[in-house]
Amino acid sequence: MARLVPLQIDHASELAAVHGPLMICGFLGTVIGLERAVALSRRWAFAGPLATALGGASLIAGGPAGVPELVGPALFFLGSLILCLANGAVLRLRMADDTIVMALGALAWAGGNLLWLSGAGFEAVVPLWAAFLILTIAGERLELSRLMPPTRFGRKLFALVVAVLGLGALLAALWGENGEMLFGAGLIALAAWLVRYDVARRTVRTEKLPRFIAICLLSGYAWLALAGVLILASGGISADRMVYDGALHAIFLGFVFSMIFGHAPVILPAVTTFQVPYRPWFYLHLALLHLSLALRLVGDLTANDALRGHGGHVNAAAIILFVVATVSSAIAARLARSRKAALASGRKG
């Protein structure tokens, strides 16, 4: 994103090297922690997203050699521990498949952060970070599937798939390629389960926001499955540097950001006072995300650095366009409400 918005940052190369943890822990971890804290309505739970936000700020700010490398991971680990406690509190209130899976996701995040804090490389940490986001999203989709409950067999199959994915992430973090293959298989299995049982299969036939959300979800599941295929075909995430880049961006951009694009109009009003009404132009940033990621993936698989770079530029443009579209929709909605209130007040006067 810094390629499109040139900032004068002295440590730009160091910042680029940690853009992964900055996005996963500093941004997404903070958003998930904030959402959980709001849902739980406990003051102490807000310490988690505060810690991870400060961790992200420490990575951006930099500082004396070794300081941000220690402070950032430590704050991320603290924030993930608080999220684990928050999920534990939720489990005491409601023990269910979806809350258990989201709690497992938080544990995976804490485990990855602990490994990073102890000096492990990103290759070891990334599968656990990915499991955090994937399991959190899967748990939320399972919660919503109460509108279209899976069969008893479907629930057992879901538990098996989660076990394979979680074990694969753990083994990949500890022992590398063998665990990565299991992790890849878990990605494919989970994508298949979500396509089969998610309510999106029905809502894609509706209109406006429900249809947009369904298209975001189903396209995200396709990217998740493709990431698993790439991992299995290459013999593991770390077996090939280009496949590593392609598989991880298929997960974190293709899958995760498709989920963000789809859920933003629902989640933002839940954690803020801003309404984000659906607009037809939301499809622009979604299409741009998929096209740019496909371009990047072709560049990875053909070892074409220029194509890969162009894809990365447009990836950033898609995210910026998403932010602009979301903010403009929220502002337009607030202005419309203000005008309506003013008219109503004028009539009363």
Residue 65 scores a pLDDT above 70: no
**Three-class SS of the chain:** CCCCCCCCCCCHHHHHHCHHHHHHHHHHHHHHHHHHHHHHCCHHHHHHHHHHHHHHHHHHHCCCCCHHHHHHHHHHHHHHHHHHHHHHHHHHHCCCHHHHHHHHHHHHHHHHHHHHHCCCCHHHHHHHHHHHHHHHHHHHHHHHHHHCCCCHHHHHHHHHHHHHHHHHHHHHHHHCHHHHHHHHHHHHHHHHHHHHHCCHHHHCCCCHHHHHHHHHHHHHHHHHHHHHHHHHHHCCHHHCHHHHHHHHHHHHHHHHHHHHHHHHHHHHHHHCCCCCCCCCCHHHHHHHHHHHHHHHHHHHHCCCHHHHHHHHHHHHHHHHHHHHHHHHHHHHHHHHHHHHHHHHHHHHC
For residue 17, tell me if it sits in a domain: yes
103, two tokens: 């709690």
Contact predicate 187/231, CB 8 Å: yes
Q: Give the C-alpha separation, 87 to 100, whole Å.
A: 8
pLDDT in tens, 19-64: 788 899 999 999 999 989 988 889 999 999 999 999 998 888 875 5
Confidence of residue 332 (pLDDT cuts 50, 70, 90): confident
For residue 76, tell me if it sits in a domain: yes
321, two tokens: 């366009």
pLDDT above 70: percentage of residues in the chain: 88
Within 8 A by CB and 6+ apart from 304, the residues are 298
Residue 119 scores a pLDDT above 90: no
Burial track 288-305 (b if 16+ CB lie within 10 A, e otherwise) = bbbebbebbbebbbeeee
Q: Give the C-alpha separation, 247 to 105, whole Å.
A: 20
Domain count, the chain: 2
pLDDT in tens, 241-259: 777 888 999 999 999 999 9
Within 8 A by CB and 6+ apart from 192, the residues are 225
Q: Structure pTM?
A: 0.87
Contact predicate 37/49, CB 8 Å: yes
Q: What is the mean pLDDT of residues 332-348?
A: 71
Question: Of 93, 114, 143, which one is at a domain's C-terminal end?
Answer: 93
For residue 346, tell me if it sits in a domain: no
Q: Give the C-alpha separation, 32 to 18, whole Å.
A: 20
Residue 345 scores a pLDDT above 70: no
Question: Of 93, 116, 140, which one is at a domain's C-terminal end?
Answer: 93
Task: Choose between 222 and 345: higher pLDDT.
Answer: 222
76, two tokens: 């991320």
Q: Are residues 37 and 110 in the same domain?
A: no
Task: Choose between 160 and 3: higher pLDDT.
Answer: 160
For Cα atoms 57, 21, 301, give the angle at the middle one, nearest 5 degrees: 140
Full domain range(s) for residue 13: 1-93
Residue 338 scores a pLDDT above 90: no
Q: Are residues 199 and 117 in the same domain?
A: yes
For residue 349, tell me if it sits in a domain: no
For residue 4, tell me if it sits in a domain: yes
For residue 348, tell me if it sits in a domain: no
Q: Helix 256-271 and helix 122-144: axis angle, to 10°? A: 60
Q: Are residues 83 and 108 in the same domain?
A: no
Question: Of 93, 121, 154, which one is at a domain's C-terminal end?
Answer: 93
Within 8 A by CB and 6+ apart from 132, the residues are 24, 29, 105, 106, 108, 109, 112
Q: Are residues 144 and 60 in the same domain?
A: no
59, two tokens: 């990575």
Average pLDDT, the chain: 86
Contact predicate 169/204, CB 8 Å: no
Q: Are residues 102 and 84 in the same domain?
A: no
